[in-house]
Chain A
Amino acid sequence: MIRRFLVSLAITVLLLVIQSTWLDAIALLSISPDLALLFIVFVAFKNPSPQGQATGFVAGLLQDGMSSGPLGLNAFIKTAVAWSFNAFSGKFYIDRIFMPFLFGFLATLAKAVYLGALALLFKDRLPAYDFLSYQLWLEAAYNAVAAPVLFLLLLPLERFILPRERHT
């Protein structure tokens, strides 16, 4: 359990580093895919235990250290998104293309909704997505396209991050 959590955490941190360095080269209008979020969604959906939430929380705290956002913002967002997808864990079958595509899109929307709720709660002291701006929809589309590729790349690593009975 701890080993799987540590591996998940290491992969999330690796994806965060890639996100902040290499992905700028493929950014569209300064928007790049949120690979760490997609990975957390992957773990949360595939594993009914709260491993996704735990990974999201710790990785979110680390991201808060790297980001200019207030400490706890990403920890909350990633934990909340992981919880949302964990609620559907085992409820339906996930294919190779369509479901990851949908997950990528919905995860971005969930992130935007939780951020909006936090911005309301903290009286605009936090940034929030504008649901009418292209940034949110571009990021959602980018995450939707990136998710099937990332999920496919994660398949060989499943045995290190998921319990034995959950391997595909």
Chain B
Amino acid sequence: MASGLMLAAALITLTVSTRSLAGVPERIGLTVISFFQKGFDAVGDFFTDTVNSIAELRQLQDSHRELLARVEALGNLERGYTELRRENERLQEQLGFELRSERSLMAARIVAKDPENLFSTFVVDKGSLDGVRKNQAVVAYQDGIEGLVGRVLEVGRSTCTVVPVYDSSSFIAVRLERSRYDGLATGSGNRDDPLVVKYIKKRAGSEIQFGDLVVTSGLQSIYPAGIVVGRVSKLRLIDYLTSLELEMEPILDFGRLEYVFLVGGQDGTAAEETP
């Protein structure tokens, strides 16, 4: 015991005299504490990082959601833009036609069709308030060609009903553009069926070719002369008849019609009402 005490005292003396162990306790404390500090710091960092990560994740989620919404909005915008561009092109085409045309035209949009399948009339968005009158001719512009659509049947205040050329109640005084023979065209009631042109002189048979244009003749008719109605698709030579019958495909694709033009008179007013 005494030797132990003495050894201890000697060591203390030696240490003091040589100052060799100065700072050891601090170093030990530092090492140990720093170990814990590091540990705590690491744990703290872990929690901070985790919390930050969660917050960041939430922010990322939010921004992701925002970006998705933005992408969707941009997609819609792009679709809308494409649609607007196409509509603009179509309207420019129609406007160009309206400006180029020698006739006084009023543009209208098709808004509805007859709810009954037996009838082929449709409704456009112009009426008596716009100056529309009964029996005005209606034309349309498709693929660079002005074609006859039909005539105004009934007029409301802001809409009117148009009966198309393929309706069975339509009768149009027509002329073969190349051979200049006159006839009377009538519809079959279905837009997919051809129109029939009757009362063409039999001698015209040799002069008529498939694809010949048929235009309105303007003779005693509500339709102005020179509007294209269709093209000859078939010739019927019936022995007991004194005249020829032709089948004619309408020049317009009625399934694609969106806009039409109501034709006014020569002086810009609407066509006269015909009983």
Contact of A127 among B115, B154, B189 (CB under 8 A): B189
Distance to closest chain B CB from A135 (angstroms): 7
Q: A68 interface residue, CB < 8 Å from B?
A: yes
Let me know if A68 and B119 touch, CB within 8 A.
yes
Distance to closest chain B CB from A37 (angstroms): 9
Docked CA distance A23–B118 (Å): 15
Let me know if B115 and A68 touch, CB within 8 A.
no
* Chain B interface SS verdict (over half): loop
Let me know if B117 and A31 touch, CB within 8 A.
yes
Let me know if B117 and A67 touch, CB within 8 A.
no
Q: A32 interface residue, CB < 8 Å from B?
A: yes
Let me know if B153 and A16 touch, CB within 8 A.
no
Question: Please, which residues of chain B bring their CB within 8 A of the CB of A135?
Answer: 117, 190
Q: B140 interface residue, CB < 8 Å from A?
A: no
B residues 182-202 near A (Cβ < 8 Å) are 189-192
Also in contact, A34 and B114, with CB within 8 A (given A68-B154, A68-B161, A127-B168): no
Let me know if A36 and B192 touch, CB within 8 A.
no
Distance to closest chain B CB from A126 (angstroms): 9
A contacts with B, residue count (CB < 8 A): 23
Question: Please, which residues of chain A bring their CB within 8 A of the CB of B10?
Answer: none
Q: B9 interface residue, CB < 8 Å from A?
A: no
B contacts with A, residue count (CB < 8 A): 24
- How does the 8 Å CB contact mask read for A59-84 relative to B, with 1 for contact and 0 for none? 00001001111000010000000000
* Chain A interface SS verdict (over half): helix
B residues 69-122 near A (Cβ < 8 Å) are 111-121
Distance to closest chain A CB from B149 (angstroms): 15
Look across to chain A and name the residue whose beta carbon is closest to the beta carbon of B153: A68
Q: A49 interface residue, CB < 8 Å from B?
A: no
Q: B214 interface residue, CB < 8 Å from A?
A: no
Docked CA distance A127–B111 (Å): 24
B residues 209-264 near A (Cβ < 8 Å) are 255
Contact of B121 among A24, A68, A74 (CB under 8 A): A68
Interface residues of B (CB under 8 A from A): 111-121, 123, 153-154, 161, 163, 167-169, 189-192, 255
With A21-B113, A66-B123, A68-B169 given, can you name 8 additional A-B contacts, CB distance below 8 Å? Answer: A20-B115, A32-B117, A34-B117, A68-B154, A68-B161, A68-B167, A127-B189, A135-B117
Interface residues of A (CB under 8 A from B): 16-17, 19-21, 24, 29-32, 34, 36, 63, 66-69, 74, 115, 127, 129, 135, 139
